Structure formats: structure tokens, C-alpha cells
Amino acid sequence: MRDCQDAGKSNLTCAFPDGAAPLEAILDAKRFVGVPWYTMHKIFAGLRDAYLHTNDGIALGVLVKLSDWAITHTRNLSDQQFQRMLDTEHGGMNEVLADVYAITGETRFLKLAQQFCHRALLEPLAQARDTLDGLHSNTQIPKVLGFNRLYELTGQEDYGAASHFFWRTVVTRRTFATGGNGDREHFFPPAEFLRHLDSAKTMETCCAYNMLKLTRDLFALDGAAAYADYYERALYNSILASQDPDSGMMTYFQPARPGYLKLYCTPQDSFWCCTGSGMENHAKYGDSIYFHDAGTLYVNLFIASTLAWKEKGLTVTQTTRFPDEDRTRLHLAVHKPINLTLNIRHPSWCRTMTISVNGRRRATSLQPGAYFALNRLWHNGDVVEVHLPMSLRTEALPGHADVVAILYGPIVLAGRLGRKGLTPGADIIVNERTYGDLLNDKVEVPVLAGEPSEIVNQIKPAAGSPLTFQTTGVGRPHDVSLIPYFRIAHERYSLYWKLLKP
């Protein structure tokens, strides 16, 4: 890339066969001419990551020159022209330029990052107005990542107000039980959830990917347990659910349509934005288990892992088969005894969390959705055991009390509806244009008879098989077996159930 940049003599390096032409066309685009800044953002972000993760000075050099090219390229635009250019999807250009500023300290890059903030989105969000209906979801989320990064770097309040409000309104009003959002890549009016439930093109995987990035950034700012709760929900039910256990390929949309199935990209012929972000997705299992400040270690997720905190001389080894078991163990190894607070997340789905230290019951937390602080002088070999009992519950589709998803602890359960009409192997071959029309034959999806509170009493665990359940006597015309959505593959399923009055 450096050779290309040097040969071009303009500091531009890009993947366009016709060089800067798309980037010229977009400068004053009155009609759609593609998404060149979206494509450029991937190059900027890749160079940044190569520098940050591998300390590659060549990558940084190319990135700084490319950023200077962007300044030159947009220099003659009026403010109005710049904003019109931003009406077209442009990825996280504001975020990556803010990072270039953070790396170099050069304020010219901060200025450009701020110019790349799309005010048509920033202004309503900063005023706590949700104007997201009909907007392309994954165009907006990266812009908000940039607002939040600029808030971190400048403290300018409209940026922070916008990122916080956006997260809150998307997660509380626009999100399915799995943590995913949208239909056909777009936010829809929350009052229309029921209509979109019939779509095979809901919950684009990139949207979960970017919401998790935003969630992680907001957690780092505020330390609120609600962010960790959402992170767990989307990690297990969107990201872990997105990969084909057989082929390794990944989902684009995750269909809400009852009786549909997950379709995956293919190695040679069919891949999308969600394949690209999907390559990064499965590194997320390790990236947000632990956080710390000066004297506190936050345990956010219950995932088998080893944490080395060198400055403290502390190694934490977490051992668990969560969510197949409802407990986890933290083994602490220290060079010499240290005083430290362990902030253990009490998940919102768990009524009573108990904590034992070295085999003795030490505490019971009755506050779901908060942290339990365990402060003591830790010795080498101390073991903390956390018990997180899970139970079944229903969650209504937003605005529709009689359409529910069934969850066990943090795990969304999907009903197994069989393989009727599917041919072995063929169901992962996907043509993006026909996606959603592949299976027009509808299969019978049972309804459940009963009130939400009663129905969970009629769902029984299967012996010897964790996270596997069976409805008993409430399914019409027949009962259904339930397994985690993340384990469903190559099979029709339903995530939501219509309730009938008994």
C-alpha cells in the first residue's frame, strides 16, 4: 500500500480501479454514485489497527499521508457541500480521523473528524430526539461511534449526549430479544414490530457488531452494568448465533420470520459487509470479559479465560462451562497479597447471586443489574465461586404483550421446526438478491396457549441435555422443543410465539 501511495504521488491509496474518480464524484453528488467514503473508511481503519495492534510504523506513515490527502481533497467544500456529501453512507470516517488525531496530536485531523460528523443525525440525537425511523441502521451506528470517540477526546457535550441517547433508544425501543435490530438493513417504527416479525431480512449481523463496539466504548466511560447486560445478550444471541458450526460461514440477516432458517455466506460466491465484520466478530468473546480502574477489577462476563494484570502481579483464571452451567470459578494467583475490589456483575436476568470465597459462603446479592463489590486482601490461591441461578421467562415483542420470546437466563431459546423442504447442503447457498424469497413455503408454527407467567411453568428441561427444553401441553396444534438460538443451524426455527388465551 505504501508503494501504491508513493507511485500515485497524491498521497491517496485506495481500492478503486479508476483511482480518485468515485471520490471526485461524491464531492458534490446530487445523485447516488456509490459509497466511496464507506470503502475508504475500511482502508483508514485497517491502517490504524495495523499500527495500534502491531506498532507498524509503515502503516502509520501511510495513514497520516492518506489523512492529509483527505484534507486536501475536501478543502474547497463549503460547509453545506460537506454535509450533503455526508448524506451518503461513509462508515466511521469521523471515528478513524479522531483516532488519527489521538495518535498524532495534530489538530488538523481533529478538525476534519468534526467536519465528518453528520449533523442531520448528531443534532436530533444530542437533543434526545429519536428520528431513526426509516434510516439505514448500519450507516448510523458507525457515525455514533465517531461522536462517542470525539466526546472522549474533546469532552464536547453534544457528542456525548448523542451517543448515550442513541444507545438507549436503540436498545430499549428498537431491539429484538437477541440484541439485533432492523429490517432490510433499516430502522423501522417501533409500533410496527409485528409486521416486521414476518421478515426474513431482520437483524443484520453488522448492526450487532457495531452496537457491541458502541456498548464497549460506553461501558469504558460510565461503568454501568446495563451496558454489560446488553453486551452479554448480543454476544451470545447475535454473534455466537451468526456462525455456521459446520462450514464456519456467517450470517448476513438473522431472520425473525417464524419457520425460516439461518442462511450463511459461501467461501467463493456470496459474501457481504457481514462477512467482513464477521471475520472480526469471533474475537469479541475475549475482548470484554474484564475491565479495570486503579483498584477495581470488573468481571463482566462468565467465560473461561485467563487474565494477566501485570502491574498488579495478578493472574485470574476463570473456569466455567457457562451458560451450560450456572456457575463460574475465579482462581487468583498473586506474587504477594494485594488489596483489590472485585466488582462481580449481577446480571439483570438472575434474581439472587451467591458468592463463596475459598469454599465458604460470603455474600448474597439481591440486586440484579448492578455490581457486587467484594473487597479484601487477596492471597495466592484464593478461589471465588459465583452461583448465578437461571430461570425461564418470556419477553414480549416491543409493543405486543401477546407475542413473546422465551429466554433461559441470558439465552434466547428457539423452537425447532424441522427440515421440511430443505435439501442437504443447499440451504447455505445464498444469493443476496433472492435472500428472503428462498423459502416461500410456510411451515406450521405452533402457538402457545396460556398467560406468559403460566407458560414458563409448562416448559420442562430435557434430562441430561443442558439448555434444552420441551413445552408440555401448551403448544397448539403440537408442542415444540427449544434449544439456544445460537445452537440452531440448518433447521427451521421460531424465535417468537403467539400466545392464545387458554
Q: Which is nearer to Zn ion, 33 or 273 (CB)?
A: 273
Give the dihedral sign, CA 167/155/290/47.
positive
Distance of closest approach, residue 225 Cβ to Zn ion, in angstroms: 29
**At residue 122, what are phi and psi to the nearest 5 degrees?**
-60, -45
Strands 392-397 and 360-365: unpaired
Distance of closest approach, residue 137 Cβ to Zn ion, in angstroms: 9
Contact letters for Zn ion, residues 165-204 (x by CB under 5 A) = ---------------------------------------x
Q: Is 370 exposed, middle or buried (0-12, 13-18, 19+ CB in 10 A)?
A: middle
Say whether the peptide bond before residue 337 is cis (omega within 30 degrees of 0). no
Using CA atoms, how far apart are residues 319 and 303, in angstroms rounded to an integer? 7
274 near Zn ion, rule: CB under 5 A? yes
Q: How many residues bind Zn ion (CB under 5 A)?
A: 4
Q: Which is nearer to Zn ion, 112 or 206 (CB)?
A: 206
Q: Which is nearer to Zn ion, 177 or 208 (CB)?
A: 208
Distance of closest approach, residue 247 Cβ to Zn ion, in angstroms: 18
Distance of closest approach, residue 375 Cβ to Zn ion, in angstroms: 43
Q: Which is nearer to Zn ion, 273 or 422 (CB)?
A: 273
Distance of closest approach, residue 204 Cβ to Zn ion, in angstroms: 5
495 near Zn ion, rule: CB under 5 A? no
Q: Which is nearer to Zn ion, 163 or 275 (CB)?
A: 275
Using CA atoms, how far apart are residues 85 and 108, in angstroms rounded to an integer? 20
Distance of closest approach, residue 453 Cβ to Zn ion, in angstroms: 37
Q: What is the side-by-side order of every strand in the sheet holding 314-319?
A: 305-309, 314-319, 327-334, 383-387, 353-357, 360-365
Q: Which residue is closest to Zn ion by CB?
A: 206
Q: How many CA atoms lie within 13 A of 24 on its CB side?
A: 5
Q: Which is nearer to Zn ion, 274 or 467 (CB)?
A: 274
Distance of closest approach, residue 276 Cβ to Zn ion, in angstroms: 8
Which of 225, 251, 44 lies closest to 142 in space, CA to CA?
A: 44
- Residue 65: strand, helix, or coil: helix
Stretch that binds Zn ion, among 273-281, 353-361, 419-427, 445-453 (CB under 5 A): 273-281
Residues 197-216 that bind Zn ion (CB under 5 A): 204, 206
Stretch that binds Zn ion, among 41-49, 272-280, 370-378, 434-442 (CB under 5 A): 272-280
Distance of closest approach, residue 57 Cβ to Zn ion, in angstroms: 32
Q: Which residue has the cell 458502541?
A: 214
Give the dihedral sign, CA 474/475/476/477.
negative
Residue 351 DSSP symbol: S
Which amino acid belongs to residue 469? Answer: F
Q: Which is nearer to Zn ion, 95 or 385 (CB)?
A: 95
Using CA atoms, how far apart are residues 424 and 427, in angstroms rounded to an integer? 7
Q: Which is nearer to Zn ion, 1 or 273 (CB)?
A: 273
Distance of closest approach, residue 21 Cβ to Zn ion, in angstroms: 26
Q: Which is nearer to Zn ion, 203 or 228 (CB)?
A: 203
Contact letters for Zn ion, residues 232-271 (x by CB under 5 A) = ----------------------------------------
Q: Are 463 and 389 in contact (CB under 8 A)?
A: no
Strands 314-319 and 327-334: antiparallel
Residues 6+ apart with CB under 8 A from 342: 296, 297, 299, 330, 373, 374, 375, 384
Which amino acid belongs to residue 132? Answer: L
Q: Are 234 and 208 in contact (CB under 8 A)?
A: yes
Q: Which is nearer to Zn ion, 273 or 333 (CB)?
A: 273
Q: Which is nearer to Zn ion, 93 or 413 (CB)?
A: 93
Distance of closest approach, residue 40 Cβ to Zn ion, in angstroms: 17
Distance of closest approach, residue 116 Cβ to Zn ion, in angstroms: 21
Residues 6+ apart with CB under 8 A from 318: 289, 299, 302, 303, 304, 305, 306, 307, 328, 329, 330, 331
430 near Zn ion, rule: CB under 5 A? no
Q: Which is nearer to Zn ion, 274 or 397 (CB)?
A: 274
Q: Binder to Zn ion among 33, 273, 370, 443 (CB under 5 A)?
A: 273
Q: Which is nearer to Zn ion, 281 or 365 (CB)?
A: 281
Distance of closest approach, residue 138 Cβ to Zn ion, in angstroms: 6
Q: Which cell numbers hold the place of 35? A: 459509497
Strands (E), 80-146: none
Q: Which long-range contacts (CB under 8 A, 24 or more apart) does 2-11 make?
A: 2/58, 2/61, 2/62, 5/62, 5/65, 5/66, 10/69, 11/65, 11/66, 11/68, 11/69, 11/72
Distance of closest approach, residue 237 Cβ to Zn ion, in angstroms: 17
Positions that interact with Zn ion (CB under 5 A): 204, 206, 273-274
